[in-house]
Amino acid sequence: MSKLQIGLAIVGALLLAAIVAHGAWISRRNQPRQAEPEGPPIEPHGLDEPSFATARSQGAPEDADGLMLPPQLERKPLLDPLIDISAAIELEHPVSGEALLQHMPATRRVGSKPYAIEGQDPATRQWEPPQAGRRYLALQAGVQLANRAGPLNEIEYSEFVVKTQALADALGGTPEFPDMRDAVARARELDGFASEHDAQLSVTLRARQTAWSAGYVLQNAARLGFVAGVLPGRMVLPANVGGQPPVLGLHYDAQAAQAADPAHTAIRDMTLTLDVAQVARSEQPYVRLREAATRLAEVMDGQITDDDGQPLSADAMDLIGAELENLYDKLDERELSAGSVLARRLFS
């Protein structure tokens, strides 16, 4: 074999090796990032900007991002004149809690609105949900004036009257209903306020180059305190106070979350969300949203964008922060502070 042939053979072998190595490098580069052995928890820091959109345009959240919440710790009456109308039911004789529970309507809704019955404790004069072993001298039935489905309308008001009258007849009581026109007018006014002050914040985190596996997403989110929700592709950041809705939600591809082999899934984006009215101001949810988004972007080589894929700036974030503080103030003035029982009922 001539020197030329030997040289060509060597060059060919080197070229083949280079092609194989390049192919292996491309394959590794395109493979989704995988979860790594656990290290120390990630400490949140840094800021970046979420987009600001009304909850009416985005739709109501999915039951606090799929988290199964424990019972609320706050003990307050079910009905409140700020967001409910009620009909007093005068009784001919005291009614036991067992009789009241037996004749309660099959559903606790009137159309799309929550419907409730309360009895007045003779000793404390406090209103409470019906309980066995109690006797009540007075009752009241109520329906919520508005929620994210809209204001109470005439049809729903009529259903409220029919349902309450049937209960009163069964218990030997006489209801006194509020004027329908006044009730519907109040409902529309409250709905108008809610529409103008109902907001969700969201940021989208997009992979710059290499996609993420489901396990990689779970691991990095868990290091920031997120836990799995009930629904696939959902994680939540729990509140500091037990029984409260989660502070933030994290959403990613539900199919990837249910894949038989999560290591071979490829996720290119995920979304962090905050339902403003559902979370108490004291939780600092906006600050925590910014911190979580920024830290995840750093460790996962991602970019924070709006829903249209446009990068978000810190200056715009500051502006939205000021808008959010103004929104909190408006809710406080209306006695519907973010995270309160009434706010969670109205903005649901």
Q: What is the pLDDT of residue 33?
A: 64
Three-state SS for 281-307 is: HHHCHHHHHHHHHHHHHHHHCEEEECC
E strand or H helix at 114: strand 113-120
Token readout for 334 is 């209306």
Q: What CATH superfamily is the domain 51-69+198-346?
A: ZipA, C-terminal FtsZ-binding domain (3.30.1400.10)
Q: What is the pTM of this model?
A: 0.79
Strand partners, 116: 142
CATH topology of domain 84-144+149-195: Cell Division Protein Zipa; Chain: A, (3.30.1400)
For residue 3, the model assigns a pLDDT of: 58
Name residue, tokens 């989110």: 221
**Are the C-beta atoms of 237 and 67 separated by less than 8 Å?**
no
Digits of tens for pLDDT over the chain (348 positions)? 565 555 555 555 555 544 544 454 444 445 676 666 655 544 444 333 344 444 444 444 444 444 444 444 444 558 999 999 999 999 999 999 999 999 999 999 999 999 999 999 888 899 999 999 999 999 999 999 999 999 999 999 999 999 999 999 999 999 999 999 999 999 999 999 999 999 999 999 999 999 999 999 999 999 999 999 989 999 999 998 888 899 999 999 999 889 888 778 899 999 999 999 999 999 999 999 999 999 999 999 999 998 888 899 888 888 889 999 999 999 999 999 999 999 999 999
Question: DSSP assignment, residue 78?
Answer: S
Other residues' Cβ atoms within 10 Å of the Cβ of residue 26? 10
Q: What is the pLDDT of residue 269?
A: 95
Show the tokens assigned to 310.
Answer: 């446009």
CA 311 to chain centre: 24
- pLDDT reported for residue 35: 63
CA distance linking residue 134 with residue 123, whole number of Å: 11
CA 74 to chain centre: 19
- What residues have CB less than 8 Å from 71, skipping those under 6 apart? 243
**Residue 92: CB partners within 8 Å, gap ≥ 6?**
172, 173
Domain(s) of CATH 3.30.1400.10: residues in the chain: 51-69+198-346, 84-144+149-195
- Tell me, what's the pLDDT at 51? 45
**Alpha-helix runs per DSSP H in the chain:** 3-30, 55-58, 97-102, 154-171, 180-197, 214-223, 254-257, 285-300, 314-333, 341-346
pLDDT value, residue 53: 47
Tokens 């066995």 belong to which residue?
132
